[in-house]
Structure 1
């Protein structure tokens, strides 16, 4: 089983691209969805996050709107949060991979937003970077509810520049050309990787 690492900066269309891989029949691991599950009522992260950051839970779940301002501009607070969440995410990712392999999958996709920033590229077989021109990215992000230019810049500052990600990628999906073009590119990537696997098996 080969593991594809999917990454891309904020506003590049990574979630839509991940959905395209899922539509093509590949098992996909959605990191954002997993964080939501950890933060939801009954989630494993709720109690430890509330203990570390009193007042950020509401109705038994982590209130991300309350948590965000506490960590976004405070590296020490962010490190404390990551120390809670990352081990839980690793456990969930391992369980996903075990289940996919047991199910006979030949390719799986891990959506990892900070793949390069955390050295995660070493744990995958190929990297797909989702990209778009900076003006498209900016307009998409600033259209989100509650987003401000200052918050956008703070998020960007924590992410490897898009140009660097593209350079280090095995494949790039440009989402600025529309969904059909991006979907075609996803199909090409899957076909290429399966072709390489067949060639290696013939070896």
Structure 2
């Protein structure tokens, strides 16, 4: 019995990564969304609430982690950020291991990892897929988000590896600068190709 082949999906802000992840799911590929797991772990009644509250008093409440309160304690403090990551990362790792166990009979599984190259996520996957759209399309999508400003957008871009570099390091690129139908066709073709290669 071979273990599943793991696809790592990544892409910069506004490139349509969540949309593409959903398309992989529709094509029958189980998807592990690290960000969604973190939100659950830190949400109302989340498993990590007691540990986070103990490490960062006043940072949680009935709604789970108060992102602003926690951010105020952690922002700009490398030691505190490390402390928070030491609580969050192992918990996400356990969820990922459980997900792998639950889907060990699948041919393909997908890890949705926003900062795949910026972190060590690329070591966990067999194939890297980058979602990408032309810069003007990306800009238009992001600036249409509620509460987004040009400054915020520029700041986020500055923290992320440039799109061109991500594309150059990818095994496959999904172009999301087209229609949803065309993007879906690219995803389905890639799933077929990856399954055939197993």
TM-score (norm. length: structure 1): 0.88
**TM-superposed deviation, 1:74:** 4.6
1:132 to 2:122 alignment: no
Change (3 A) 1:31 1:146: same
Structure 2 counterpart of 1:48: 51
Q: Residues 5 and 67 (structure 1 numbering): CA distance in 2 closer, same or farther, change over 3 Å?
A: same
Judging by fraction of residues, say which structure has more helix.
1
Tell me how large the CA RMSD over aligned residues is: 1.8
* Gapped regions of structure 1 (runs ≥ 5): 198-203
The Cα shift of 1:137 comes to 1.6
Residues 157 and 54 from structure 1, CA distance in 2 versus in 1: closer, same or farther, beyond 3 angstroms? farther
Instruction: Give the match for residue 119 of structure 1.
Output: 120
- The one-character-per-residue Cα deviations of 1:29-77 (angstroms, maximum 9, x if unpaired) are 1112111111112212212222333333231501234434554555444
Instruction: Spell out structure 1 runs of 4+ moving beyond 6 A.
Output: none
* C-alpha distance in structure 2 between counterparts of 1:70 and 1:7, whole Å: 29
TM-score by length of 2: 0.90
Give the unaligned 5+ runs of structure 2: none
SS in 2 for 1:177: coil
Match of 1:80 in 2: 83
Alignment of 1:131-170 (within 5 A): 131-170=132-171
Number of matched residues? 195
